[in-house]
Amino acid sequence: MRYLFERYELDSGRRELYRDTSLVALAPQTFDLLDYLIRNRERVVSKDELITAIWKGRCVSDAALTTRLNAARSAIGDSGENQRLIKTLARKGYRFIGTVQEARSAPALTVPDRQEEAAKPDLPIPDKPSLAVLPFTNLSSDPEQEYFADGMVEDIITGLSRSKSLFVIARQSTFTYRGKAIDIRQVGRELGVRYVLEGSVRKSGDRVRISGQLIEATSGAHLWADRFESHLNDIFDLQDQVTSSVIGALFPQLERAEIERAKRKPNENLRAYDYYLRALSSFYQFTREHNVEALKLTRLAVEIDPALAAAYALGAYCYLQRKIFGWTIDADQELNDTRWMARRAIELDKDDPIVLVRAGQAIEAVLHEVDEGVALVVRAHELDPNLAIARLTIGWGHIRSGNIEAALKQFHAGGRLSPMDPFLFMMQTGIAFAHFLADRYEDGSSWAKLAVLDRPNYLNAQFILAACLAMSGRVGEARLIGARLMEARPALRVSTLVPKITRFYRPDHLEKIRQACVNMGLTP
């Protein structure tokens, strides 16, 4: 039987829907729903009846029904707002209200039968993290949210694509799955990716809720899920906020998943990129022993692949970690090694934001070539505005120039972009120091305590906590921390510290730091 309405033709025998002579792609359940509503168009069909007919009585959520209903409406040019063809009757059910003609004969204008598509070969999965972002499902009756969801997915794809350490499938490929019943494993095989991000958008009143989940396509395992909710005051501002939040939350999860995958590989099967990932895992432990291990692994990576820029940049970053945690062994040798690894990384890849930010921060803080280091980090930020760690260097640049509020804005933005970031304790330390310089010692103490709790062996956070306590009159507490600092760093003295940092701070800020050192009991 063929059902003709407006410019559409639904052929129940061939299970196909045409608009004029063009075939409209429909998921099987969406076709079944539309077919059932048309065949029973003389009456209202209840929700329970539809579930029994389409899902054979299986327990399904309202969201699943709404999704299929919206897909059916979209396929025939209808919407939940217009309800030109499919009408929702509150608390009663649904009815197809379009004018329909039935035809049993073959159509006058025949459409060539579709040839069966050849089975698509599985695409190889790249070495680096590979991701497909599927169209987000609109769970609202408001068709405007479809545009919002599509725009947000495009922005997420664009934002993730800025990172050269990720392999991200283009929108044109992922949007071919719109409205289809999909198997995540099949999507992974067809697109050649290890991870798939899917999500939904729901509008209720003046609020919009966006949910997302990251799935490992090879196993179907859920790696991460979250939801973001906000007022619908400015849809474009909201789209930007959610996009940044999703990217910021997603990147550390992808990195963590890749690290775990590399750690599970047998040693005899390791390649350069696997050694790099293992090095990154050791680096993130933030201990002296793991720092040594990370350096060893980066060297193994570049021995196998001398063109792996990310491994050179991570090696330079390891020397930066040594410096800020006080683990330096041979200062002159480590200075030379940092210079070689950072510059080699930049020679190999001048457009990878991660390479630029790591090499730039090492050049700035280890080599003290501040202008060049900052310029590289700023370049990384321009290439990828969602790169949270770049905000750290930009924020400290504002502190050096005395612009405290601009520094706070950068540190807070970094924390918001990546709330699970391994470097969050450094963002918190920057916020604490900015409050210290602005005479907001209680605020500074609170943020410094967060950093100390997160990373107790990061002595800079302890120093700033002691400084805030010392300047707020809590001298006893400050001196306890000061004593621990001198025990950990016997060379720490006011007479050596202040001249070392003189060129980085304004005279009034430098005097504040000197006074705090005296108050916390550091050796003159």
Is the confidence at residue 118, as pLDDT, over 60? Answer: no
**265-384 shares its CATH topology with 408-524:** yes
Are 384 and 162 contacting, i.e. CB atoms less than 8 angstroms apart? yes
Q: Give residue 57's pLDDT.
A: 64
For the ranges 9-18, 146-155, 283-292, 309-318, which has the lowest average pLDDT?
A: 146-155
CATH of domain 130-258: 3.40.50.10610
Q: What whole-number distance in Å separates Cα of residue 244 and Cα of residue 262?
A: 27
Domain boundaries, the chain: 2-103, 130-258, 265-384, 408-524
Per-residue pLDDT tens for 228-270?
A: 777 766 666 666 776 777 777 777 778 888 888 888 877 766 7
Highest mean pLDDT among 56-70, 80-94, 509-523: 509-523
Higher pLDDT: 102 or 310? It is 310
Q: Give per-residue pLDDT as tens, 421-465.
A: 889 999 999 999 999 999 999 999 999 999 999 999 999 999 999
Give the chain's mean pLDDT: 85
Using pLDDT thresholds of 50, 70 and 90, give the confidence band for residue 66.
confident
**Spatial distance between the Cα atoms of 348 and 286, rounded to a whole number of angstroms:** 27
Question: Is residue 458 a contact partner of residue 286, using CB atoms and an 8 Å limit?
Answer: yes
Distance CA 224, CA 423 (A): 20
Which one-letter DSSP state was computed for residue 306?
T
**Which of 517, 477, 521 minimizes the C-alpha distance to 497?**
517
Q: Does domain 408-524 have CATH number 3.40.50.300?
A: no
Alpha carbons 17 and 29: distance in angstroms, whole number: 13
Range with the poorest average pLDDT among 40-54, 132-146, 346-360, 487-501 = 132-146
Name the pairing type of β-strands 221-231 and 207-216.
antiparallel
Helix, strand, or coil here: 446?
helix
Least confident of 335-339, 346-350, 412-416, 483-487: 412-416
Over range 106-134, report the average pLDDT. Answer: 60
Q: Which positions ≥6 away from 13 have C-beta within 8 Å?
A: 1, 2
Q: Tell me: pLDDT of 303 over 90.
A: yes
pLDDT category of residue 143 using cuts at 50, 70 and 90: low
> Which has more pLDDT, 164 or 340?
340
| % of the chain residues with pLDDT over 70 | 91
On the question of pLDDT at 191 being above 90, the answer is no
Fold classification of 265-384 (topology level)? 1.25.40
Q: Is the pLDDT of residue 105 over 60?
A: no
The whole-number average pLDDT for the span 467-472 is 95
**What pLDDT, on a 0 to 100 scale, did the predictor assign at position 236?**
65
Q: Is the predicted pLDDT of residue 148 greater than 60, yes or no?
A: yes
How does residue 204 score in pLDDT terms, banded at 50, 70 and 90?
confident
Tokens 């327990």 found at: 59
* 505 vs 109: which has the higher pLDDT: 505
> Which CATH code fits 2-103?
1.10.10.10
Count of beta carbons in the 10 Å neighbourhood of residue 490 = 8
